[in-house]
Amino acid sequence: MNIGIVKEPTDNRVAIVPPSLPKLAKLGVNFLIEEGAGEKSMYSDADYSEGAKVVDRKTLLGESDVIISISPLPSSEWQEGKTLISQFQPYNEPEVIDQLKEKGVHAFSLDMIPRTTLAQAMDVLSSMASIAGYKAVLEAAQYLPRYFPMMITAAGSVKPSKVLVLGAGVAGLQAIATARRLGAMVEAFDTRAAAKEEVQSLGARFIEVEGAKDDTAAGGYAVEQSEDFIKRQRAEVQKRAMNSDIIITTAQVRGRKGPLLVPGSTVEAMKKGSVIVDLAASTGGNCELTQNDQVVNHNGVTIIGNSNLSALMPQDASFLYSNNLVNFLNLIIVDGAVNMDLENEIIKGSLITA
Ligand code: NAD
């Protein structure tokens, strides 16, 4: 069986890095890699040549039984009978499942792996969200016309920056940790009750808004809140935003638009020079003035809309993504063939078309 790894057309990452190939040797399959696939993650074709055959895209698509990519291949490249492993986001685009079925393609969607302890080592959403949270703080620091830490110098003292993090999931917690390491004062908010202790353990203050809906049955994900709750939440955010230098928003509700937590009026109340980094930009944004994949300036406030910040740190992002895939491939490849065992919770969750 041949497994092919394509070059991502618009992403700096690559799904499998050369150091992973020896860990996959015992699977008894052959690997093909598209020319130049690892270049932006600092791996040359020669680095892959020991464990994989370097080929052009057409050969790869034709000869591979399983094709791995970070972003889904365009449907024009789907071929009947092949198995695709990617992130199809069926919770945002449910029609993709019927489209794949129609073409007779088997598909595993890594973003559908359940968020369980057993699946943690394969969880690409967590690996990438953690990088995004870290990078969000560095991006903010880049635009902020101020220091993060308190500075006491002969020329005068500088107060530490204040950071407000909205949504304390994987990305939010990493943003809190990074901002604290840089010396900022951090406050954070999340609707999930479990987030409070995690926020506090990182040395940040947890903001409480009463009356959030119970999310215990949502598999670890948040649920959509009532309009009344969101209204009270916005009022609380507005109060905090006026004193914040940076807001990092990561609030997502799976399969829905991101909740609007920072309306234009809040941005207008913020100090000039403040920075907002909106990681929910691709699902509509948590800030009303966010433009996806753009940096805008509104009355002196910089708003960075980017939901794919992990791609800006391609070397480690690819390394971690690849480690997740090694664990996943070790589960789904048995005796040199794809194992579609629906008794297995991880396979059942991620196999969107069998
Ligand atoms: P996510 O990207 O879906 O959402 C980000 C955060 O936004 C979440 O913490 C969510 O609660 C929060 N949010 C949603 N609506 C909000 C609102 N109105 N205001 C403020 N915050 C709001 O989340 P994620 O980072 O993917 O994590 C989802 C869950 O999965 C978390 O509970 C996390 O702990 C859990 N998880 C478990 C594992 C595991 O056990 N293997 C691995 C990773 C994540």
25-59 pLDDT, tens digit per residue, is 999 999 999 999 999 999 999 999 999 999 999 99
**What number is the average pLDDT over the span 10-22?**
97
| Closest by CA position to 350, among listed 325, 316, 321 | 325
Determine the distance separating the centroid of ligand 1 and the alpha carbon of 274, expressed in angstroms: 25
The answer to whether residue 219 scores a pLDDT higher than 90 is no
The CB of 247 under 6 Å from ligand 1? The reply is no
Residues 9-29, mean pLDDT to the nearest whole number:
96
Q: Residue 338: phi, psi to the nearest 5?
A: -75, 130
Per-residue pLDDT for 222 more than 90?
Answer: no
**CA 115–ligand 1 middle distance (angstroms):** 10
**Three-state SS letters, the chain:** CEEEECCCCCCCCCCCCHHHHHHHHHHCCEEEEECCCCHHHCCCHHHHCCCCEEECHHHHHHHCCEEECCCCCCHHHCCCCCEEEECCCCCCCCHHHHHHHHCCCEEEEHHHCCCCCCCHHHCHHHHHHHHHHHHHHHHHHHHCCCCCCCEEECCEEECCCEEEEECCCHHHHHHHHHHHHCCCEEEEECCCCCHHHHHHHCCCEECCCCCCCCCCCCCCCCCCCCHHHHHHHHHHHHHHHCCCCEEEECCCCCCCCCCCCECHHHHHHCCCCCEEEECCHHHCCCECCCCCCEEEEECCEEEEECCCHHHHCHHHHHHHHHHHHHHHHHHHEECCEECCCCCCHHHHHHEEEC
Which residues in 26-60 are b (16+ Cβ under 10 Å) and which e?
A: ebebbbbbbeebbebbebebebbeebbebbebeeb
What is the whole-number distance in angstroms between the Cα of residue 163 and the centre of ligand 1?
A: 19
Annotation marks residue 126 as catalytic: yes
Could you tell me which of 254, 298, 257, 295 has the C-alpha nearest to residue 278? 295
Name the packing angle between helices 124-143 and 170-181 (round to 10°). Answer: 40
Task: Say what the pLDDT of residue 225 is.
Answer: 87
Checking if the pLDDT of 350 tops 90, the result is yes
Q: Ligand 1, residues 89, 192, 345: which to mutate, most atoms within 8 A of Cβ?
A: 192
Asked if residue 283 has its Cβ within 6 Å of ligand 1, the reply is no
The band of 321, judged by pLDDT with boundaries at 50, 70 and 90, is very high
| Average pLDDT over every residue of 103-121 | 96
Q: Give residues with Cβ within 8 angstroms of 58, minimum separation 6.
A: none
Mean pLDDT of 245-263: 94
321 lines ligand 1 (CB under 6 A): no
Residue 208's pLDDT is 87
Report d(CA 248, CA 140) in Å as an integer.
8
State residue 200's pLDDT score.
98
Place of tokens 């492993």: 85
The percentage of the chain sitting over the pLDDT mark of 70, rounded to a whole number, equals 100
Residue 296 and residue 302: Cα distance in Å, rounded?
Answer: 6
Residue 300 pLDDT level (bands cut at 50, 70, 90)? very high
In single-letter form, the type of residue at position 343 comes to E
CA of 185 from ligand 1 middle (Å) equals: 22
Q: How confident is residue 129, by pLDDT bands cut at 50, 70 and 90? A: very high
> Against a cut of 0.85, is the pTM above it?
yes
Confidence of residue 213 (pLDDT cuts 50, 70, 90): confident
Q: Please check the confidence at residue 216 and state whether its pLDDT lies above 80.
A: no
CB 250 within 8 A of CB 285: no
70 lines ligand 1 (CB under 6 A): no
Cβ of 216 closer than 6 Å to ligand 1, yes or no, is no
Pocket test for ligand 1, best of 122, 187, 238, 252 (most atoms within 8 A of CB): 252
Q: Give the position, in ligand 1's atom list, of the atom nearest the Cα of 254.
A: 3
Q: Indicate whether 307 pLDDT > 90.
A: yes
* 217-246 mean pLDDT: 87
221 is annotated as an active-site residue: yes
pLDDT classification of 256: cutoffs 50, 70, 90: very high
pLDDT at position 199 is 98
Compute the mean pLDDT over every residue in the chain, rounded to the nearest whole number.
96
Active-site residue, 86 included: no
Q: Tell me what the mean pLDDT of segment 311-320 comes to.
A: 98
215 lines ligand 1 (CB under 6 A): no
- Give me the mean pLDDT over the 2-15 stretch: 97
What is the phi/psi pair of residue 4, to 5°? -110, 145
Alpha carbon distance 218, 233 (integer Å): 21
* Residue 252 scores a pLDDT above 80: yes
Q: Whose CA is nearest to atom 11 of ligand 1?
A: 222
User: Which pLDDT band holds residue 273 (cuts at 50, 70, 90)?
Assistant: very high
219: CA distance to ligand 1 center in Å? 10
* Interval 108-133 mean pLDDT: 97
Q: Categorize the per-residue pLDDT at 211 as very low, low, confident or very high, splitting at 50, 70 and 90.
A: confident
From residue 99, give the alpha-carbon distance in Å to each of 10, 79, 87, 103, 152. 22, 12, 15, 7, 61
Answer whether 270 contacts ligand 1 (Cβ < 6 A): no
Region 132-156: what's the mean pLDDT?
A: 98
Tell whether the model's pLDDT for residue 215 goes beyond 80. no
Q: Which atom of ligand 1 is nearest to the CA of 224?
A: 15
What is the set of domains in the chain, with CATH numbers?
Answer: 2-112+314-353 (3.40.50.720), 129-311 (3.40.50.720)
Q: What average pLDDT score do residues 136-164 get? A: 98
In contact, 170 and 125? CB cutoff 8 Å: yes
pLDDT at 218 over 80: no
> Is the distance from the beta carbon of residue 220 to the nearest atom of ligand 1 less than 6 Å?
yes
pLDDT confidence band for 313 (50 / 70 / 90): very high
Q: Using alpha carbons only, what angle is made at residue 207 by residues 202 and 209, rounded to the nearest 5 degrees?
A: 145
- Mutate which of 221, 234, 247 for ligand 1? The one with the most ligand atoms within 8 Å of its CB, which is 221
- Confidence label for 192 from pLDDT (cuts 50, 70 and 90): confident
- Helices 314-332 and 124-143, interaxial angle, to 10°? 170
